[in-house]
Structure 1
Amino acid sequence: MSVQAHLQEAHKRLLRAAVGLLIGAVIGYVLSDQVLNILRAPIEALAESRNASLNYDSVSAAFDLKMKITLFTGVAISSPLWLYQAFAFFLPGLNRREKQYTLGFFLAAVPLFVAGCTTGFLLFPHIVELLAGFGSAEDSTVLVASYYFDFVMKLVLAVGVAFVLPVFVVLLNFIGILPGVTILRSWRIVIISILVFSALATPSADIMSMFLLAIPVTGLFAIAAGIALLHDRRITRHASTIEDPSSTTGISRTEVLDGGSGSDRPPRDLVNS
């Protein structure tokens, strides 16, 4: 494909992605009030026991927050379309093995990321309630709207990325950077890291919230380690077959050189004589 053809293909993909983002932004604007109500729910629950409110620190802050919610929701809604456009643009330039790896990574990472973001979205009210609860009942909790939205979105994205990390581990194994044995030997470090991350991401007084996040992430890493070990075993078996082609027929190299393993066959030196 020529440079001009590449540019035309890129223009076509970008145009389709832009149209998808625009449609998603329109839907996001329509849903922005509902999303804001969900974000405001923990603050309203906190206001039952103390003075708590969502604060706009400038004249345009309410509009800015609405635009942030619109754009974020639009990107999330249209993500299947623009991700597919990016995937379809780079796919023709990959070889067969690279296409398999890329397609497998895409099909595994996207559902896991969505599941992680959903988990983070369900957990954030407990986190807001606990962190804001450190203040005294006589104090007022005034949350700046823009910082509050950024906090929630960073938390949601962090949990989504945590769900995708096992897929990166498998990808590093498939391209030969991270052996499966190394992943298995590091299980203590992995579990401790997951527990620390879960404790920081879900600092709830209820310890079950931490385990609700830690258990699925640990299970995903265990599955990733198992896939890596199976892949390494298959590569090792394939390499040994290439080094010793006679192993596929059940005949050793010595038998091939000697003309067979039967006792009725004369030795090679007698035949030569």
Structure 2
Amino acid sequence: MSSTAKRRFNLSWLKPPAMPEDGSMALVDHLRELRYRVIVSAIAVVVGAIVCWFFIDTLLDVVMWPYHEARRNLQADRPDLVMHTTYQGVSSPFIMKLQTGGFAGLLLTCPIWLYQLWAFIAPGLLSKERRWALTFLAAAIPLFLAGVVTGYFVTPKGYEVMIGFVPENSDALALLDAPTFLVNEIKLLTLFGVSFLLPVVLVTLNLMGVVTGEQLGKARSAALFGCFVFAAVATPSTDPFSMLAMAMPMGFLYVVAELISRRHDKRKAVQEAKELDVQLTY
């Protein structure tokens, strides 16, 4: 093989830069690190999606459950309401299966891409704080999945409310484009999962010295209001049930993050006071 071919298949450009002892990196090295983390996460999600493809029919039944549940509830109250699921275009069923497999792969591999997120943030932390990777993952993984599960069981009521606006005793058919429904559901569940990561993000910022528990306390009222605004904008179904189901846990988790940050700040202050006493003694 010629030297040109060897250079062509050389993947050294993909490797992340060496990590300095103090964790400080140039902007170009940060971008290389980000590229590496994103590529590793993307490969993991693709592999996860391929694994999930073998169970795609079962997964389709799972993702369509909120619609079928809303449909059963509506038709029990309004027997005159006729609802049908449609596929617009020849490729729609195949694309829907791809989207379902991709989202399932995202959930399946969340420990991997959440770890990559932590590994990208860790250089900005002190050496003793970098050891908290397991704690970060132990909190982030169940919180993300809890957000997805919460959104999953909230969506039927939201769809029921929105479809229920079809006028009674009318000849109109309630037609649902299945791929469009799936895209909206994936957006909603992903937003629920990400919103539940709020305390992890805030505590990480506190560990990095970006914010303090006192600052979080002062911003609590504005933050709680922001949670409701974010939930109102983020939920594509625009129903009040989805908005409240997202905003209220976010507000609660914000307060939890504030309490954890205040406790960490107190421990840090005590530790710094002890170190100062030792220095003054010597």
CA–CA separation in structure 1 for the residues paired with 2:148 and 2:247: 14
The count of aligned residue pairs is: 239
Cα deviation for residue 92 of structure 1 reads: 11
CA–CA separation in structure 2 for the residues paired with 1:92 and 1:226: 22
Whether the 8 Å contact between 1:16 and 1:85 is mirrored in structure 2 is: no
For 1:54, which of 72, 75, 85 is the aligned residue? 85
CA–CA separation in structure 2 for the residues paired with 1:246 and 1:85: 37
Name 1:186's counterpart in structure 2. Answer: 219
User: Would you identify which runs of 4 or more consecutive aligned residues in structure 1 move more than 6 Å?
Assistant: 13-16, 87-95
Cα deviation for residue 122 of structure 1 reads: 0.3
Whether the 8 Å contact between 2:110 and 2:141 is mirrored in structure 1 is: no
Whether the 8 Å contact between 2:115 and 2:137 is mirrored in structure 1 is: no
Instruction: Tell me: CA distance 1:151–1:90, structure 2 relative to 1, closer, same or farther (3 Å).
Output: closer
Q: List per-residue Cα deviations over 1:87-125 (Å, max 9, x = no partner).
A: 898799897435324333222111100000000000001
Name 1:170's counterpart in structure 2. Answer: 203
Name 1:233's counterpart in structure 2. Answer: 266
Name 1:140's counterpart in structure 2. Answer: 173
Unaligned runs of 5+ in 2: 1-11, 17-35
CA–CA separation in structure 1 for the residues paired with 2:119 and 2:202: 25
Whether the 8 Å contact between 2:53 and 2:101 is mirrored in structure 1 is: yes
Alignment of 1:73-222 (within 5 A): 73-80=104-111, 82-83=112-113, 86=116, 96-97=127-128, 99-137=130-168, 138=170, 139-197=172-230, 201=235, 213-222=246-255
Cα deviation for residue 198 of structure 1 reads: 5.1
Q: Secondary structure at the match of 1:59?
A: coil
For 1:24, which of 39, 49, 52 is the aligned residue? 52
CA–CA separation in structure 2 for the residues paired with 1:157 and 1:151: 10
Whether the 8 Å contact between 1:43 and 1:54 is mirrored in structure 2 is: no
Q: Secondary structure at the match of 1:143?
A: strand
Cα deviation for residue 64 of structure 1 reads: 1.8
Q: List per-residue Cα deviations over 1:34-56 (Å, max 9, x = no partner).
A: 22541431245445442322221
Identity %: 26
CA–CA separation in structure 1 for the residues paired with 2:108 and 2:199: 24
Instruction: Tell me: CA distance 1:90–1:122, structure 2 relative to 1, closer, same or farther (3 Å).
Output: same
Q: Secondary structure at the match of 2:131?
A: helix
Whether the 8 Å contact between 1:199 and 1:210 is mirrored in structure 2 is: yes
Whether the 8 Å contact between 1:105 and 1:167 is mirrored in structure 2 is: yes
Which residue type is aligned with residue 263 of structure 2? L
Cα deviation for residue 77 of structure 1 reads: 2.8
RMSD: 3.8
TM-score normalised by structure 1 residue count = 0.70
Q: Secondary structure at the match of 2:145?
A: helix
CA–CA separation in structure 1 for the residues paired with 2:199 and 2:114: 22
**Which one has a bigger Cα radius of gyration?**
1
Instruction: Tell me: CA distance 1:84–1:24, structure 2 relative to 1, closer, same or farther (3 Å).
Output: farther
